[in-house]
């Protein structure tokens, strides 16, 4: 992830802390466009941990989705949320 993306996610966390209103619409689409995950109630949980040293390190961001919808063309279960699909 680039520093630009890290800055954007940090700004979203900051806005959420001050206003409580940083709800995101999130869509993840596979390369073929066949599978789509979406949520209209996604939140960045907190700032990612930072490491300062002489090596490249990763920052892990956690995004919590309060709602979800999974669509897979050809999958008869596509009207169920991921949570519903896991426990069927």
CB under 8 Å to 38, separation ≥6 — which residues? Answer: 25, 26, 27, 28, 68, 69, 71
pLDDT exceeds 70 at position 80: no
Q: What's the burial of 72, exposed, middle or buried (CB within 10 Å: 0-12/13-18/19+)?
A: middle
The boundaries of the domain holding residue 34 are 3-86
pLDDT tens string 65-77:
999 998 877 555 5
Q: Kindly report the pTM of this predicted structure.
A: 0.66
pLDDT tens string 14-53:
999 999 888 999 998 888 778 889 999 999 999 988 777 7
User: Which residues, in sequence order, are bridge partners of residue 12?
Assistant: none
pLDDT exceeds 60 at position 6: yes
Q: Domain tally for the chain?
A: 1
18 is written with which tokens? Answer: 């001050």
């Amino acid at each position: 992830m680039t520093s630009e993306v890290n800055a954007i996610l940090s700004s979203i966390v900051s806005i959420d802390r001050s206003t409580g209103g940083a709800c995101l619409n999130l869509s993840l689409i596979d390369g073929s466009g066949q599978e789509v995950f979406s949520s209209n109630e996604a939140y960045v949980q907190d700032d990612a941990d930072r490491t300062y040293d002489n090596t490249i390190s990763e920052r892990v961001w956690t995004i919590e989705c309060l709602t979800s919808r999974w669509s897979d063309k050809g999958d008869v279960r596509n009207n169920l949320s991921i949570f519903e699909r896991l426990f069927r």
